[in-house]
Amino acid sequence: MDQAGPENMSALSWRDRAARVFEFSLPGGRRWRVGPLPAIMGVLNVTPDSFSDGGLYPDASSAVEAGLRMLREGADLLDIGGESTRPGSRGVSAEEQLRRVLPVLSGLRDAAEAPISVDTRDPRVAEAALRAGADIINDVSAFQAPGWEGVLGEPSVPLVLMHMRGTPADMQLRTEYPRGVVLELCEELGRSMESLCAQGVSRDRLILDPGIGFAKEWRHNLQILDGLGKLLELGRPVLVGVSRKSFLGPVLCPGGGAIVREPVERDVATVAANAFAALQGASILRVHNVAYTRDLVDVLGALYHCGSAEAEESGGR
């Protein structure tokens, strides 16, 4: 079941947000409900070279504890990645990704019932992760490469489709959007959706990610957040991943200031950007700092319930 809010909106009223509820089937007969408030996806990169948390977890036990801590802090689901996709990064073999990911996935699956997503461009990694207990597959290349038939044929596995051009190694050479970044990314994501649907994938399984920082200049990312309502018109929940990303640097240091914020110093800016994204209609916020984002969503929740109660009271007069 999904109920989408009205089209052609730049920001959601509380009543509009109440209509944006999506339900997904998960493996094992479970259900996952997203909305009306954004779900918090905790980022758990088990890599040596991710831009923010690379190398933080030298072994599986430390990564499992970090994931469990995110859940205690209020994450609704986790996203495990075994390959960095930062600009300029090169691919990692399926074998190496599985060596990094599977022990962490197994440890978390044994200890927690929350949905677990695996972030990979490799269908072999995805299939093995699903066998090991993953629920969701998150592919920055939107499942357009060959070999995904096995994953696409699993009816109870939600799929996150992200907008990117090229590969992480060359994507920043593909940042021309002569008709506007929002229009072109919506068209390209729309084509990715239709390609999957033509292969028999139900639209009810799809989650859309505009790909903040992927084949985008820093100003493009601001334009995407401002135009997020256009992406909502595709009728699927939108995942936004602004957490600690480099486009926040020029915002925090206008005019090329000498002080450059490290990724971990961009958490407050991340909360500000996520607040805007949430009010524009984002359904999932992918973040490194779960505790800050939990505070954000709890405040939005209090305002939402206040606004909903007021609307009901006014309607009853």
Could you tell me which of 66, 238, 303 has the C-alpha nearest to residue 311? 303
Catalytic, 230? Answer no
**pTM attached to this predicted model:** 0.91
Q: State residue 6's pLDDT score.
A: 38
Q: State residue 2's pLDDT score.
A: 46
- The pLDDT averaged over each successive group of 10 residues in the chain (317 residues) is 42 72 96 96 86 73 96 98 82 92 97 97 97 97 94 97 90 93 97 96 98 94 95 96 92 69 91 96 97 97 77 55
Query: Residue 29: CB partners within 8 Å, gap ≥ 6?
Result: 156
Asked if the 2-315 domain carries CATH number 3.20.20.20, the reply is yes
Burial of 99 (0-12, 13-18, 19+ CB in 10 A): middle
Query: Residue 300: CB partners within 8 Å, gap ≥ 6?
Result: 37, 38, 275, 278, 279
Burial of 8 (0-12, 13-18, 19+ CB in 10 A): exposed
Q: State residue 7's pLDDT score.
A: 41
Catalytic, 286? Answer yes
Exactly one of 245, 261, 266, 317 is catalytic; name it: 245
Q: Say how far apart CA 70 and CA 56 lie, in whole Å.
A: 14
Exactly one of 17, 100, 230, 286 is catalytic; name it: 286
Q: Where are the domains of the chain?
A: 2-315
Q: Say how far apart CA 22 and CA 241 lie, in whole Å.
A: 19
Q: Say how far apart CA 22 and CA 150 lie, in whole Å.
A: 24
Q: State residue 250's pLDDT score.
A: 85
